Amino acid sequence: MIRPGAHVDANGTTFAVRAPDAAQVWVCVFDPDGEARQEMTREDDWWVYRDPQDLAGRLYGYRADGDWAPEQGRWFDPAKLLVDPYAIELDRRFVQDPALATYGADTANIVPRSVIQPVRDPVDHTPPKFERGGLVYELNVRAFTKLNRAVPEELRGTIAALAHPAVLAHFRKLNVAAIELMPIIAWIDERHLPPLGLANAWGYNPVALMALDPGLCPGGVDELRDTVAALHAEGIGVILDLVLNHTGESDVYGGVISLRGLDDSAYAHAPSGELINDTGCGNTLDFAQPHVRALAVKTLRHFVAQCGIDGFRFDLAPILARGPGFAADAPIFAEIEADPLLRDRVMIAEPWDIGPGGYQLGHFPENWLEWNDRFRDDVRRFWRGDGSIGALATRIAGSRDIFGQGESRTVNFLAAHDGFTLADTVAYAERHNEANGEGNRDGHGENYSWNCGVEGPTDDPHVLAARDADIRAMLGTLFASTGTIMLTAGDEFGRSQRGNNNAYCQDNDIAYVDWDHRDIELEDFVAALSATRAKNLNHFRAFPEDGTWLTPAGDPMDAADWEREGAGAVVWTHVSTRDDETERVELDIDRTRRHAEFRKIGPREID
């Protein structure tokens, strides 16, 4: 059986890459004296070369020859150094350059080289360090610690910084169940950014799907592995946000960097031969192709086996189930479920893309969690003043209109990396993305946000008090809701992006987490909310069927109460008996008082 990529064993080093339409493929191994090319041998759709030496630590890439016919999906150009689609580490970051898309222009001095990995024993396979209903903490690795003075300067902005005692202490304070790392796979800037003096800061534009970014993870696989182990020692899981829906080779004007120069069939094409763009990035990986699914599954297996990763969040997840239309029973789901390394991992879908029928909230497998933007929008609208109490109650109760009864698969959130921060949600009625260089046309136009009377920064104490009350009310709602919850780093202490709701290209203090000006009182409030939730985690997995919704006067809510225009207060109560002791759980929501509170009343406190 062919093992894709570069592998070292007792017999030396074997290289294997898929390029079914190539006329010839070479593996290029680099040393200080230059590039040594070796012809590879075709074995069906694969090209293979076996070297008797142990080449661990050496750098390599591929070159492929054949037809140059982009209109037919053939981009073979032996002048292009190509990154192994199965690469795990790279020697440098990707950079944009016109040569990447110019036929005959050699790119050996531009394109990163892959690093041949030594043999490593897998980590012990243990259950994920995460329980449903817990707090997922989403963070951008670089932005999260870049300005944290408690972290040594040489570690700031890297994966290793997440294992620093000061960072671990912050996670513990918030009762974080798992951190969700925005992409840590090496990415390339979109073509329009370098001329604007900007850079992609989020990482949702990878080239090879499992190659760690050398800037975020200079220590490679070992650095990620050690950091995960340190987090696990604190009882904290690690979830990777993966982009398996497209690659940074982009549309037909993009570069020839990896798959495009080896096997363009990995990308989805219309019957006319044109690239399908269900991602908004110019190209879409084709999960109807078995070899694409094999690459995706191999990626997941690598991070579980070699780094101990607890789960994955999938960007634009409907792409995984397209062939070309979305199918709830797509092969990738069964393949993941059948894999012994993957079947117990936490799987989280971002359940939408921009293709036909792309909004698929509630349609992923029963053992998957799903980001719930309906929760975000309905909660924001309620506290803004134009949302209904009925919609809010439905979201708090686990969005049973979407996910059904029982243990909820929802991931509730108020804000994410994409959109306003929580603090900006109550400080800006409009987006302010001028720094992105696109005339403030990018980013979501409708954010269900409000400014409490002043757009942006203010010293008005009444406005500031109103904003603080609104933030606390929304946080109280989030931490009282059924399902898994997510908080984006810095929202616990009032982080702002100055009204920028699409800061993907702001690798600067617009997007960096400001640790020096934290609102410690708000942070302590969030920590208290999270501690209460952690103590009552079983309650938040499934909404009790026998609870009662009451008016503020204590009467059961009827249809007229739910439909009354402007209704903004409700109390939910649930009484249970365990071991002959009765306890009551209450949820108090009141828009006028800007109040949302979950409380558990013990048997000695019940009248």
Catalytic annotation present for 350: yes
Taking alpha carbons only, the member of 209, 207, 187 closest to residue 291 is: 209
Report d(CA 398, CA 411) in Å as an integer. Answer: 9
Taking alpha carbons only, the member of 536, 423, 407 closest to residue 474 is: 423
Q: Is 502 helix (H, G, I), strand (E, B) or coil?
A: coil
Report d(CA 244, CA 285) in Å as an integer. Answer: 7
Rounded to the nearest 10 degrees, how much is the dihedral formed by the CA atoms of 321, 326, 330, 332? 0
Asked whether the CA dihedral 589, 593, 596, 601 is positive or negative, the reply is: negative
Q: Is 424 helix (H, G, I), strand (E, B) or coil?
A: helix
Taking alpha carbons only, the member of 134, 136, 138 closest to residue 495 is: 138
Rounded to the nearest 10 degrees, how much is the dihedral formed by the CA atoms of 575, 577, 578, 583? 40
H or E, element range at 165 = helix 165-173
For residues 318 and 246, the answer to whether their CB atoms sit within 8 Å is no
What is the phi/psi pair of residue 393, to 5°? Answer: -60, -40
Q: DSSP code of 565?
A: T
Q: Exposed, middle or buried: residue 445 (CB in 10 Å: 0-12, 13-18, 19+)?
A: exposed
Long-range contacts of 1-6 (CB under 8 A, 24+ apart): 2/43, 2/46, 2/48, 4/46, 4/85, 4/86, 4/294, 4/295, 4/298, 5/84, 5/86, 5/87, 5/88, 6/55, 6/60, 6/84, 6/86, 6/114, 6/116, 6/117
Taking alpha carbons only, the member of 234, 230, 220, 275 closest to residue 92 is: 220
Structure tokens at 162: 């997440």
Give CA separation, 158 vs 137, 184, 427, 490, in Å. 17, 10, 31, 17
Q: Exposed, middle or buried: residue 175 (CB in 10 Å: 0-12, 13-18, 19+)?
A: buried
Q: Find the catalytic residue in 138, 350, 370, 468.
A: 350
Taking alpha carbons only, the member of 426, 427, 430 closest to residue 441 is: 430
For residues 103 and 255, the answer to whether their CB atoms sit within 8 Å is no
- 32: cis peptide before it, omega within 30°? no
Residue 431 one-letter amino acid: R
Structure tokens at 339: 């894999």
DSSP codes of every residue in 370-404: EEEHHHHHHHHHHHHTSS-HHHHHHHHTT-HHHH-
Tell me how far apart the terminal alpha carbons of the chain are, to the nearest angstrom. Answer: 70
Catalytic annotation present for 442: no
H or E, element range at 179 = strand 176-181
Taking alpha carbons only, the member of 155, 158, 205, 208 closest to residue 183 is: 205
Q: Find the catalytic residue in 315, 468, 492, 507.
A: 315
**Catalytic positions, written as ranges:** 315, 350
